[in-house]
Chains A and B, each alone.
Chain A
Amino acid sequence: MSADNRRRKAEHIRHLLDTEGDSVHENTRVFNEGRYESTAALDDYEALKDEARGIKEDAIERLPALIDEVTEAIEENGGTVYLADDAADANRYISEVVDGRNAVKSKSMTSEEIEVNEALEASGANVWETDLAEFVLQVADEAPSHIVAPAIHKSREEIAALFNEVFEPDEELETAEELTRFAREYLGEKILDAEVGMTGANFVTADTGTLALVTSEGNARKCVQATDTHIAVAGVEKVVPSVEDLQPFVELIGRSGTGQDITSYVSLFTPPGDSPTFGGGDEVGPGDDRELGPGDDRDFHLVLIDNGRMEMREDDQLRETLYCIRCSACANSCANFQHVGGHAFGGETYSGGIATGWEAGVHGQDSAAEFNDLCTGCSRCVNQCPVKIDIPWINTVVRDRINRGKDGDLDFLVEGLTPDEEPGGVDPQKRLFGNFDTLAKLGSAFAPLSNWVAQAGPARSVMERTLGVDSRRELPAFERESLVDWFEERGPRVGPDEARRRVALYPDTYTNYVRTERGKAAVRVLEALDVRVDIPAAGESGRAPLSQGMVATAQSNAEAVYDALAPAVAAGRDVVVIEPSDLAMFNREYERLLEEDSYEALDGNSYEIMEYVYGLLENGASIDALPDGDGEEVAYHSHCQQRTLGLEPHTVAVLEDAGFDVTTSDVECCGMAGSFGYKSEYYELSMDVGESLGDQFTTDDTADRTVVASGTSCLEQLDALLTRRPAHPVRLLDER
């Protein structure tokens, strides 16, 4: 990316932070908290997710047969199924069916994807969006910023101003209640006048030809009931085998999306339905004494959209995207999305984490490239997805493909070796951050000189101009003596015979070259608990290149780390990791980067440092061997990936056991996310996200607390946000 492009991107993000950020933040926060609360009330949440995932895996596997089955079922019921290759094909068919008549629509992202409104209007038909948020956007002529709540970026005040200006009501509209009543009445007339009702479909059952529509307002029901022609538009991936298969989705979709146990209406239509219609026509209006017409002569058309989906199905990396039920959990749980919204974190149609998969699949890689960098791989969405899609991985793969500059390079995992395993076209900024270990090694070798040079004004402005490293960020200062060198000289202090356990402490790049003090503290704490520690000279885990979409480099790093740690694992030692993002590599991404046996060996024997201390204390080690916290008040920020792995409680438990008084943050991510906060185009977003954390640690209760955080990035971000100097929690347990 050129310096000019970076500046333009930064300006765009700044503009959205200023204009839409507050509304998006407030609304996504409600959805996000609602989801945690609502899913916690399920006693079989994980089992339901597994069931939902299983149904989708099976359905996509058998998709061609299911499409045949649903076609047969609907035709037998008296309806029509049209399989559209692409948007133009779908729009041509729909325009023919509508044939210039008035149409009312309920919310459908798939209809946004094909831009059917524009096509219908061009063919001379009137189309009205009846979902209130879509109606607002239709009046404002804006695009959705969220896949479930499309006008999430607009405040009540903005909507009131818009309606007052456009509709000039007798009395100015002000409250949400007044705005809702007005829209209901306005759209009620449109519904009375309409002859065609258009809906999407959240699910379509192959066995019976039933559409499941998940809604809250009641407009979809009205659109179907009022009219005598029903057109449903759905992606082919919406087909599930049977009616019974709907159950887990019905229990999950509302909870996952807006945090409601269930939405007001889950409509199961097996069209053509027979509810009495309003018949449509032009002269009618509210207050007329027209009889309702018989509904037994309805016309029904299901338009199933391919538009790239069948190719996604053949793509081993993108296929999972088709399991998506468009609940928006990945958007709501995403710190970047919460702050900037879908107008930045989205492509032509879709927004949020999974949008990268959708956009790459239906609109092409260029659309995904617009926003793909906004996924920092923090993984907070991973446990929130009701069908367990590895959304960060899809973002990584697409980033890798964007780096390579061509569509669908499926062989990327086995590509031949190049210096850093990447093709020539990788952006220099990505290459810099992806090869952080090389930089760290050099920086350490020439420290402190390298630190002085790097921090000096001229160097920073060159770095900003050529590499997009924001000069408002303090750069990490490299230590002259690495942790590995320090330990080599010092040696282990617990004899093999008196050792409770034996540990290989993994020297991640940051701990090894920058934050050596937390590595030394970890060694001393483990030794105080009678653990014999060794530090094998293992290199960078692959996290840095992976975050830049440099998958091949990440894989080669992963293999080298495995080779370095394998002897210790084979000898029965436990691998202890200080940096949570590296432990997450071992536990999650290595499954895709290493042979199965290697992955399992490392995954099964590696632990986060505080998790490990917790385990030692649970298994006979005494807390008395560690310093007494003596009631010291501590504010702890866990790490995003650590929390995804379920490892926040261990740190809290250990600190409390040691006598500290602990309070924790609950933001999804600190906003730094490795290299993200250093990039000049994202610096302001990163700081905006960080401020939510900063606010939590500057309240009356937290302002005087000692701040600890597990991740390197989080420590850097907290350092920038607070005047107190934060440290890794293991340092509280170190005698020094």
Chain B
Amino acid sequence: MSAEPITTFESSLDEIGVDLVRTTADRFESALAALLDPPAIGVPLPFADVSLPDEVETDPTVADLEAAETGVTAAGYGIADYGSVVIQGGADGEEPVSLYADHHVAVVAASDVLPDMDAAFDRLAEDIRGGTGQAIVATGPSATADMGALVKGAHGPMDVTVVLLEDA
């Protein structure tokens, strides 16, 4: 993966007000710790040598969801042009965890950052045909202008941070 999509990804995220934290597997724990505002919920991460600390509840109850400040999930892809992350999966709770917490932390591997929507849909189509039941192209926080002015955090998170996992 060339550095170019990452640079574009970074500036796109900056434009939509999403923080980007660049880290590696061995520094992941401390990088994430700085982002965790308790109570935190999460879904176990699929990346090698990376795991969530114990204080992150990975089997939340309804009350945990309601109370959560931070929700950590993996993202299948990043889309550089738009600063989007693609939240995939279902049974492990990616959807409620990324939706209910006030702050969604999405962890994406640098090698999964795709340059544009064209590339993203080629991969998404492949995944859907392979059985991925759900993919949310999420760009920035949840938002509404329905109440007379722009408000972040309508039904979903009001803040989003992307953690980019790079090779050491």
- A, B bound: yes
Chain B residue numbers with a CB within 8 Å of A274 are 90-91, 133-134
The digit string for A131-155, where 1 denotes a CB below 8 A from any CB of B, is 1110010000000000001010011
Is the pair B117, A264 in contact by a Cβ cutoff of 8 Å? no
Complex interface: stretch among B1-9, B26-34, B150-158: B150-158
Q: A183-B147, A273-B134, A275-B134 are known contacts. Are A290 and B61 too (CB-CB below 8 A)?
A: yes
Interface residue tally for chain A (C-beta within 8 Å): 70
Please determine whether A247 and B148 come into contact, CB atoms closer than 8 angstroms: no
Contact B134 A159 (CB under 8 A): no
Given contacts A247-B118, A295-B91, contact A217 B154 (CB under 8 A): yes
Using CB atoms, name the residue of chain A closest to B93: A276
Min C-beta distance of A283 to chain B, whole Å? 12
Closest to B91 in A: A274
Q: Is the CB of B125 within 8 A of A217?
A: no
- Name the CB-closest residue of B to A179: B147
A179 to chain B, nearest CB (A): 4
The CA of A156 and the CA of B146, in the complex, are separated in Å by 9
Q: Is the CB of A217 within 8 A of B84?
A: no
Q: What separation, in Å, do the CA atoms of A175 and B149 have in the docked complex?
A: 9
Number of interface residues of B (CB under 8 A): 50
B99-A287 in contact (CB<8A): no
Residues of B within 8 A of A247 (CB): 117-118, 120-121
Is A508 in the interface zone, CB < 8 Å from B? no
Tell whether, in the assembled complex, residue A265 and residue B146 are in contact, meaning their CB atoms are under 8 Å apart.
no
Q: Which residues of A contact B121 (CB under 8 A)?
A: 243-244, 246-247, 250
> Contacts A264-B141, A276-B93 given: A219-B61 contact, CB under 8 Å?
no
| Among B95, B133, B142, contact of A216 (Cβ-Cβ < 8 Å) | B142
Give Cα distance in the complex from A264 to B96, angstroms.
Answer: 16
Of chain A, the residue at the smallest CB distance from B63 is: A289
Q: How far is the CA of A154 from the CA of B63 in the complex (A)?
A: 34
B147 and A217 contact, CB distance less than 8 A: no
Q: In whole Å, how far is B141's beta carbon from the nearest beta carbon of chain A?
A: 7
B69 to chain A, nearest CB (A): 15
Chain A, Cβ-Cβ closest to B136: A267
A492 and B154 CA atoms in complex are apart in Å by: 69
Closest B residue to A214 by beta carbon equals: B137
A289 partner residues in chain B, CB cutoff 8 A? 61-63
Question: Does B139 touch A at the CB level, under 8 Å?
Answer: yes
Separation of A295 and B100 alpha carbons in the complex (Å): 17
B140 at the interface (CB under 8 A from A): yes
Docked pose: A287 CA to B118 CA in angstroms: 43
Given A262-B137, A292-B62, A155:B90 Cβ within 8 A: no
Q: Is the CB of A184 within 8 A of B154?
A: yes
Inter-chain contact A180/B144, CB cutoff 8 Å: yes
Pick from B63, B117, B140, B153: contact of A180, CB below 8 A: B153
Q: Is A439's CB within 8 Å of the partner chain B?
A: no
B residues in contact with A268, CB < 8 Å? 124, 128, 134-137
Q: How far is it, in angstroms, between the C-alpha of A289 and the C-alpha of B64 when the chains are bound?
A: 8
Q: A180-B147, A218-B154 are in contact. Are A275 and B61 (CB under 8 A)?
A: no
Asked if B154 contacts A219 (CB within 8 A), the reply is yes
Closest B residue to A290 by beta carbon equals B62
A222: chain B residues at CB < 8 Å are 99, 155-156
Q: Given A156-B149, A225-B99, A275-B90, verify A217-B142 contact (CB < 8 Å).
A: yes
Complex: how many Å from CA A179 to CA B149? 10
A264 touches B90 (CB 8 A): no
Residues of B within 8 A of A284 (CB): 62
Contact B154 A180 (CB under 8 A): yes
State whether the Cβ of A286 lies closer than 8 Å to any Cβ in chain B. yes
A180: nearest residue on chain B (CB-CB)? B151
Whether the Cβ atoms of B96 and A276 lie closer than 8 Å is: yes
In residues 105-151 of chain B, which contact A (Cβ within 8 Å)?
Answer: 117-118, 120-122, 124-125, 128-129, 132-151
What separation, in Å, do the CA atoms of A176 and B149 have in the docked complex?
6
Q: How far is the CA of A131 from the CA of B154 in the complex (A)?
A: 9
Q: Residue A264 contacts which of B120, B133, B138 (CB distance < 8 angstroms)?
A: B138
In the complex where A264-B138, A274-B133 touch, is A179 in contact with B148 (Cβ < 8 A)?
yes
| B150 / chain A contacts, CB cutoff of 8 Å | 176
Nearest CB of chain B from residue A29's CB, rounded to whole Å: 13
What residues of A have a CB within 8 angstroms of the CB of B94 in the complex? Answer: 275
Given A219-B154, A292-B96, does the pair A176, B147 have CB atoms closer than 8 Å?
Answer: yes
> Would you call B84 and A187 a contact (CB within 8 A)?
no
The 5 A-B pairs with the shortest beta carbon distances in the complex, nearest first, are: A156-B148, A218-B156, A217-B154, A243-B125, A176-B149
| Known contacts A177-B149, A275-B93, A284-B62, then 16 further A-B pairs from the complex at CB < 8 Å, ordered by chain A residue | A131-B146, A177-B151, A184-B153, A208-B129, A216-B154, A218-B142, A221-B95, A246-B121, A247-B117, A263-B139, A268-B134, A270-B132, A286-B62, A290-B63, A292-B65, A294-B91
Residue pairs across A and B with Cβ atoms less than 8 A apart, 19 shown, are: A176-B151, A177-B147, A180-B146, A208-B125, A217-B156, A262-B82, A262-B137, A265-B156, A267-B136, A269-B134, A270-B128, A273-B95, A274-B90, A286-B62, A286-B63, A286-B66, A290-B61, A291-B62, A292-B60
**Which B residues fall within an 8 A CB radius of A?**
59-63, 65-66, 82, 84, 90-91, 93-96, 99, 117-118, 120-122, 124-125, 128-129, 132-151, 153-157
* A residues neighboring B (CB under 8 Å): 27, 130-133, 136, 149, 151, 154-157, 159, 175-177, 179-180, 183-184, 187-188, 192, 207-208, 210, 216-219, 221-222, 224-225, 242-244, 246-247, 250-251, 258, 261-276, 278, 284, 286-292, 294-296
